[in-house]
Structures are given as structure tokens and as C-alpha cells.
């Protein structure tokens, strides 16, 4: 390698041309993808990976690495190219297999699928909110465990589409309020969307908007090919510690191709002729996936640039005095030894809303599950997501574990995904179940990413009462159960709620915890954590062989218990099954499932919501297949037939039909 500045500059720009070549070649091989943004941002990526980011490609999961998020996930080939070139484990064949079945280079980045990918992005705006969560996680861990163990930054690259989505507004507003000084967003201001120029639908003054949120803004102008200007802008942002920074970079999508600054190059417009012409302009041979050895060596050297920092960190973690049990538990997303003993229990016959029982569990776990952090979307007390005596997260209390998200449900879910995927955090977030609709994008990505994120949704039925159908969830539990890899738990009472928390802390992936507003009785037999963990279990078994099974979930299990008593008094032999989690029950072996819901025995289900999905488990379904109504909760339940008497009538109808 030469030390001559002009030769270094020429070598850098030659390397950038190679990245631009890959950005054209991979989508062309796939006949699918997005070329233009990756081409325009190749110089930015070069500066980040060779001059700015602290990372070690030999250990992509090193806890104290800088985090990089490509919120504009459609430009995934740029990220894959950099991960290959810097030695994160991808190969040139992986780039050749871009967007193909089984490849390590899917259309949009997926965490856990490709080494070096921090979050799953694609739906626009999500990555910005994820980055906010990661910045909160870094600050919290640094405050609680010292800068010797946690001392890094979060970088996110976003575009016009990200900033147009409402989610990004919510997240950016929260980040500015929290003063997240180690969060740096680079806004690729290329003035192009799929439909055409951004001016068709967008005339925002993004820098002014971000300044109003409390961000530091660096307006670089039209310098997308000026490496030193990009570096200087990033370093200015990195010097600001009291607020997040937005670096605005005017780029030209598709540069230097003949399709520059067109909407067509946003996607896949450059085929053989256009690629050949562009490579000729850049001085590259007309050869697909051309990566000369000197360019690969440049990037591989950059990929190990952080090796010394990682080695020093490993020495510090071995020599620094800190609570290692707390640290290890935080990074495992679990509890310290004996954490289970902290869970509370309730006496049979007590009447407790499961949202309140959940908050009792959460508060009891805080000292033994050190990663717990979170709160609610302006409904913290209402949803049982209050975290007392552990500080309120903010610039004056960076160690605080109570987060107030404000009325920002979608950002709340996505921010908590970022907290979870950063590591060291086990986030909890709460709102009313009916508002899970506002969060669905984040919930789906939590499930796709297997982020250990606890979605607490209270006011889980028409039992909400007087607020009426706009606030009464009927279809929401069923809708959430359709999301793969999302565990939906609707506990019957306070003790099942403790069992749900036991499953959450000891489990993996995201959980939806659906909780009552109203008090529900504590039932006999619900304090068996192992039974709750199986998703469904026998709560009442008659003396003789059952001739009928009643199965319920949530507050309706007590209704099933009352109905079984009425039927038993009439001489019927009835088994009652509580099914807090259909997903966990479905995961049990057939022998266990058949022992609980025995084939051939007539079965009636009851849940205060739509009956969709219950036909898998029951022969007759009692539910609410319409919107609710405004009235006191007990009256609404009665009017819609969520009563012991209605369940008894359904059982008789099934038995005698």
C-alpha cells in the first residue's frame, strides 16, 4: 500500500467503483433488486467501513461494536457487498446468489440470517426506530455497567421513504426528547421515489423538522462523492453527545450510470448495456462481480481495523470489577440464578385484574432480571407497565429503566425491537389491545427477527365497557395468532399471569401478553408454571370419564368453570381446560394434546372475541363475531352471550344436536 495521498485517493475511488459494479451485477444476475441507491451511497459505505465504524469482522457479534442499520433495506446489496469485502463471512458466490432460494443474501437484510446484519429492515421507517432502541440500550448499559464495557455508537442510513413514513416521525421525536447523543442518522436525500421525483408528494423541510425534534443537523450538500467531506460530517455528528444527529447527504441515485437521477434506477433498470457503459466510465472491465485483489485487500484490512479495540475490550471485561451475574443475565435476556423465586402468587378466591397482576410480576422481577426495561404509550399505569424505583430513562437518568413512549405505539414496538436486538435488554411495552393495530408492522418484524420483546396489551375484550366498539378488541387476539413465531398468551387469572412471565423470561422470541382491565377471580389449579408453559392444560377433571369438554382462555376460563358447575349439578361429567396459549399447546406432542382435548369428546370453546381459529380445537365456539357496544363491561358481556348460562346452552345444543 502507498502513503501518497493522491494514490490513496485513487485507490479509494477505484474500490468504490468496484462496490458500484457489485451493486449493478447482483440485481442483474437476479433480474430483481435495487441498484441505484447502493450505487449512489457506495462512497458513504466506503467511508463508514474504512474510516468510521468500530467493528471487527472476525467477530460480528462483539457486544461493544458500533451498530450499523440500513433502514433503506431495499439497498441491501450495498450492505452485502461491504460485509463480503470486509470479511464478515459472505462470499462472492453469496453475492452471485442474491435474492435466490436459500441464499445468505435475501432481498432485504435479515438479522440472524446474514452475519453482520443487525436488524431486519425493508418496511420503511422501521430501521430508524430500531436505531433509537439500540441507542437507548447503549446508553443504559454504559450507565449501569460502565463505559469500560459499553462505549459505542449507532449509525442508521435512511432515505426519503423512511422519513415519509409516520413511524420515523414518532421515533425521531422520541429520540430528540431523550437526547440520544450517540445516535447518528444519515439521510440520503436523492429526491427520487418509485413513482418519480419526491416532489410529487413530499415538500417537507426535513432538516427543520429534525431541528424541531431537538436533533443536531449537519447539512453536507451535494458531496456524495467527496470522501473527506462525508467523513468530516460524520465526525462532527459524532462529537455531539447531548442529542442525536442527522447528516443530510444530497446524492444522485444511480450515479454514474446513464440512468442517474431517474425513478427507474431506484429498482432494476441497468442491464448488460447499461452496466457495460457504466463500468467503462468507471474504468472497470466488463466482467460481472469483478473484485481485484488489491481492492479486496484494502477492505479486508479495514475489516480487522477494530481487532485491537475488541481485544482490549476482552481484557477489560476480564479485569474490570462489575456484577458479572447481572451482566450475563442481561445479555442472555434472562434472570440471575433463582429468579423464579421472585414471582408472586395469589390465593384462590382473590379478585385481581390480570394487568395488575402482571405489573406485580414485572416489579418483582426487576432486581433479578436485569435486562428488563420499558413502559407504555401514554398508558403506562393502565397497562401495568409501570417500573418503579429504577429511574426514568433520559439524559439526566441514563440508567433509568422506565420508558415513557408517549402516544407513539408504532415507534414503541419498533424501538423495543431495537432494544432487544442490541442485546443486554429485555424490553416490555404496553398499550390497549385494540391499538395493537397501530403496532402490527413492528410486531410482525419482531416475530420475523425473533426479537425477545414483550408486547403487553391490556383491556383485552369487550369487558372494557363504556368506551365502546372503537376501544373493544374483538378480532385482535385472533389476528395476532396468525403471525408466525409470535406467542400469544391470554392468562386466566393472576397466577396464570405469573406463569406467563415465567415462560417469557425463560423463553425466546417475542410474546404478546393479553390482559384484562376488569378483576377476574383467582381459580384453583392455575399456579402450575409447567402446565401454563404447555399452553393448555386440564383445570377440572370429573370423577368419571368426561362427556363434555369446556375450553376457554383469559377471563372466560372462570365462565367455563361456572358453567361446568351448573352442568355437573345437572349430572353432566365435564372437563374444563384452560388454554392460555394456542401456540404453546400446538407445539406439544399429539399424546399430550389428545389427553387434554380428547378426540371424540364434544368440546365447546369460549372467548370474548371472534371465533376465528377456535374450530381447530372445538366443535362449537362461543364468541363475539361482531363489533362491540358502549355499556358497562358486565352488561356488554351478558348481551353478547359471554356468560355461564349461554355456555351451558351451547353445550346442551352440541350434546343433543
Instruction: Using CA atoms of 24, 28, 33, 36 in order, give the dihedral in degrees to the nearest 10.
Output: 30
pLDDT tens, residue by residue, 257-311 = 999 999 999 999 999 999 999 999 999 999 999 999 999 999 999 999 999 999 9
Global pTM value? 0.97
Give the pLDDT confidence score for residue 388 in this predicted structure.
Answer: 97
pLDDT at residue 2 in the model: 64
503 and 384 within one domain = yes
Q: Is residue 26 part of a domain?
A: yes
Are residues 94 and 153 in contact, defined by beta-carbon separation less than 8 angstroms? Answer: no
Does a structural domain hold residue 145? yes
For β-strands 351-353 and 519-521, DSSP reports them as antiparallel
Residue 223 lies in a domain: yes
Residue 420 CA to chain centroid, in angstroms? 7
Boundary-marking domain end, from 482, 498, 521? 521
Q: What is the dihedral of CA 305, 306, 308, 314, to 10 degrees?
A: -160
Q: Is the pLDDT of residue 152 over 70?
A: yes
Q: Indicate whether 71 pLDDT > 90.
A: yes
Q: Is the same domain home to 298 and 346?
A: no
C-alpha 147/C-alpha 581 separation (Å) is: 41
- The answer to whether residues 482 and 338 belong to one domain is yes
Q: Give the residue from 464, 496, 521 where a domain finishes.
A: 521
The domain that contains 644 carries what CATH number?
A: 3.40.50.920
Please indicate, yes or no, whether residues 501 and 544 belong to a single structural domain of this protein: no
Q: 256 and 107, same structural domain?
A: yes
Together in a domain, 106 and 238: yes
CATH, residue 154: 3.40.50.970
Q: Are strands 574-578 and 519-521 parallel, antiparallel or unpaired?
A: unpaired
Are residues 273 and 368 both part of a single domain? no
Grade residue 92 by pLDDT with cuts at 50, 70 and 90.
very high
Same domain, 347 and 454: yes
C-alpha–C-alpha distance, residues 416 and 18, integer Å: 37
Q: Is residue 318 part of a domain?
A: no
DSSP secondary structure letter of residue 522: P
Angle at 218 between CA 214 and CA 222, to 5 degrees: 145
Task: Give residue 186's domain range.
Answer: 5-309
| pLDDT reported for residue 343 | 98
CB-CB contact of 109 with 70 (8 Å): yes
From the list 409, 496, 556, 607, the catalytic residue is 409
Is 319 among the domain residues? no
Contact present, 581 and 554 (Cβ < 8 Å): no
Q: Where does the pLDDT of residue 1 fall: very low under 50, low under 70, confident under 90, or very high at 90 and above?
A: low
Q: What pLDDT sits at residue 98? A: 98
191-249: pLDDT as tens digits: 999 999 999 999 999 999 999 999 999 999 999 999 999 999 999 999 999 999 999 99
Residue 189 lies in a domain: yes
Continuous segment of H or E residues that includes residue 428: strand 426-432
Number of domains in the chain: 3
Q: Which pLDDT tens digit goes with each residue over 392-432?
A: 999 999 999 999 999 999 999 999 999 999 999 999 999 99
Residue 418 lies in a domain: yes
Q: What is the pLDDT of residue 581?
A: 98
Q: DSSP secondary-structure letter at 189? A: E
Interacting residues of 626 by C-beta distance below 8 A, sequence separation 6+: 474
Q: CA-CA distance, 120 to 235, in Å (whole number)?
A: 27
Same domain, 298 and 347: no
- Note the maximum CA span of the chain: 96
Please check whether residues 491 and 600 belong to one and the same domain.
no
Helix (H/G/I), strand (E/B), else coil: 272: helix
> Read out DSSP for 104-129?
SS-SS--TTTSTT--S---STTHHHH
φ, ψ for residue 338 (rounded to 5)? Answer: 85, 10
The DSSP output letter for 260 is T
| Cα 427 → chain centroid | 10
**129 contacts 122 by C-beta, under 8 angstroms:** no
CA dihedral 232, 236, 239, 245 (to 10 degrees): -130
Q: Are 32 and 107 in contact (CB under 8 A)?
A: yes
Q: Is 219 a catalytic residue?
A: no
**Residue 378 and residue 235 share a domain:** no
Residue 327 lies in a domain: no
Same domain, 165 and 29: yes
* Grid cell in block for residue 117: 446484519
Read off the pLDDT of residues 459-495 as tens digits, 9 standing for 90 and up.
999 999 999 999 999 999 999 999 999 999 999 999 9
pLDDT digits (tens, 9 = 90+) for 584-622: 999 999 999 999 999 999 999 999 999 999 999 999 999
pLDDT tens across 557-591, in order?
999 999 999 999 999 999 999 999 999 999 999 99
The mean of the pLDDT values for the chain is 97
Amino acid at each position: 500500500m502507498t502513503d501518497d495521498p493522491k494514490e490513496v485517493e485513487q485507490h479509494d475511488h477505484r474500490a468504490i467503483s468496484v462496490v458500484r459494479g457489485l451493486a449493478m451485477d447482483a440485481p442483474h444476475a437476479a433480474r430483481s433488486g435495487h441498484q441505484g441507491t447502493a450505487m449512489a451511497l457506495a462512497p458513504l459505505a466506503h467511508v463508514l467501513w474504512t474510516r468510521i465504524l468500530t467493528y471487527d469482522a472476525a467477530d460480528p457479534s462483539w457486544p461493544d461494536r458500533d451498530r450499523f442499520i440500513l433502514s433503506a433495506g431495499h439497498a441491501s446489496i450495498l450492505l452485502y457487498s461491504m460485509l463480503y469485502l470486509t470479511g464478515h463471512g459472505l462470499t462472492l458466490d453469496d453475492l452471485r446468489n442474491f435474492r435466490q432460494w436459500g441464499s445468505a443474501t435475501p432481498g432485504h437484510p435479515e438479522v440472524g440470517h446474514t452475519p453482520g446484519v443487525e436488524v431486519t429492515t425493508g418496511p420503511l421507517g422501521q430501521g430508524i426506530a430500531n436505531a433509537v432502541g439500540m441507542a437507548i440500550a447503549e446508553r443504559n448499559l454504559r450507565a449501569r455497567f460502565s463505559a469500560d464495557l459499553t462505549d459505542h455508537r449507532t449509525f442508521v442510513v435512511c432515505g426519503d421513504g423512511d422519513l415519509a413514513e409516520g413511524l420515523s416521525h414518532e421515533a425521531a421525536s422520541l429520540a430528540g426528547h431523550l437526547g440520544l447523543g450517540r445516535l447518528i442518522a444519515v439521510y440520503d436525500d436523492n429526491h427520487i421515489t418509485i413513482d418519480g421525483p419526491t416532489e410529487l408528494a413530499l415538500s417537507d423541510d426535513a432538516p427543520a423538522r429534525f431541528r424541531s425534534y431537538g436533533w443536531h443537523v449537519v447539512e453536507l450538500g451535494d458531496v456524495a462523492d467527496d470522501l473527506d467531506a462525508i467523513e468530516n460530517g460524520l465526525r462532527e455528528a459524532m462529537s455531539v453527545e447531548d442529542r442525536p444527529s442527522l447528516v443530510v447527504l444530497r446524492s444522485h441515485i444511480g450515479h454514474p450510470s446513464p440512468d442517474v437521477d431517474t425513478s427507474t434506477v431506484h429498482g432494476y433498470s441497468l442491464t448488460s448495456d447499461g452496466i457495460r457503459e457504466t463500468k467503462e466510465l468507471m474504468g472497470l472491465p466488463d466482467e460481472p462481480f469483478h473484485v481485484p485483489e488489491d481492492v479486496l485487500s484494502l477492505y479486508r484490512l479495514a475489516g480487522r481495523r477494530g481487532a485491537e479495540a475488541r481485544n482490549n475490550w476482552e481484557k477489560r471485561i476480564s479485569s474490570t470489577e462489575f456484577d458479572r451475574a447481572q451482566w450475563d443475565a442481561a445479555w442472555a435476556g434472562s434472570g440471575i440464578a433463582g429468579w423464579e423465586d421472585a414471582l408472586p402468587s395469589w390465593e384462590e378466591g382473590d379478585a385481581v385484574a390480570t394487568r395488575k397482576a402482571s405489573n406485580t410480576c414485572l416489579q418483582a422481577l426487576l432486581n433479578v432480571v436485569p435486562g428488563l426495561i420499558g413502559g407504555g404509550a401514554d398508558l403506562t399505569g393502565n397497562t401495568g407497565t409501570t417500573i418503579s424505583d429504577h429511574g426514568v430513562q433520559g439524559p439526566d437518568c441514563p440508567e433509568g429503566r422506565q420508558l415513557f413512549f408517549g402516544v407513539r405505539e408504532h415507534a414503541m414496538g419498533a424501538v423495543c425491537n431495537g432494544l432487544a436486538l442490541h442485546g443486554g435488554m429485555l424490553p416490555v411495552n404496553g398499550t390497549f389491545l385494540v391499538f395493537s393495530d397501530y403496532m402490527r408492522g413492528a410486531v410482525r418484524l419482531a416475530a420475523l427477527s425473533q426479537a425477545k420483546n414483550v408486547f403487553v396489551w391490556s383491556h383485552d375484550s369487550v369487558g372494557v365497557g363504556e368506551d365502546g366498539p372503537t376501544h373493544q378488541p374483538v378480532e385482535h387476539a385472533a389476528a395476532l395468532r396468525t403471525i408466525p413465531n409470535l406467542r400469544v398468551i391470554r392468562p386466566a387469572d393472576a397466577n396464570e399471569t405469573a406463569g406467563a412471565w415465567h415462560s417469557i423470561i425463560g423463553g425466546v422470541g417475542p410474546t404478546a401478553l393479553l390482559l384484562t382491565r376488569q378483576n377476574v377471580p383467582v381459580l384453583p389449579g392455575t399456579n402450575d408454571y409447567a402446565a401454563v408453559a404447555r399452553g393448555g392444560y386440564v383445570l377440572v377433571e370429573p370423577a368419571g370419564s368426561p362427556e363434555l369438554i369446556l375450553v376457554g382462555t383469559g377471563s372466560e376460563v372462570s365462565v367455563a368453570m361456572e358453567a361446568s358447575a351448573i352442568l355437573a349439578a345437572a349430572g353432566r361429567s365435564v372437563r374444563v381446560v384452560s388454554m392460555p396459549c394456542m401456540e404453546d399447546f400446538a407445539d406439544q406432542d399429539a399424546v399430550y394434546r389428545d389427553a387434554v382435548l380428547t378426540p371424540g369428546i364434544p368440546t365447546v370453546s369460549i372467548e370474548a372475541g371472534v371465533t376465528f381459529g377456535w374450530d381447530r380445537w372445538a366443535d362449537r365456539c362461543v364468541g363475539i363475531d361482531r363489533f362491540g357496544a358502549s355499556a358497562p363491561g358486565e352488561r356488554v358481556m351478558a348481551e353478547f352471550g359471554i356468560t355461564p348460562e349461554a355456555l351451558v346452552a351451547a353445550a346442551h345444543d352440541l350434546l343433543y344436536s
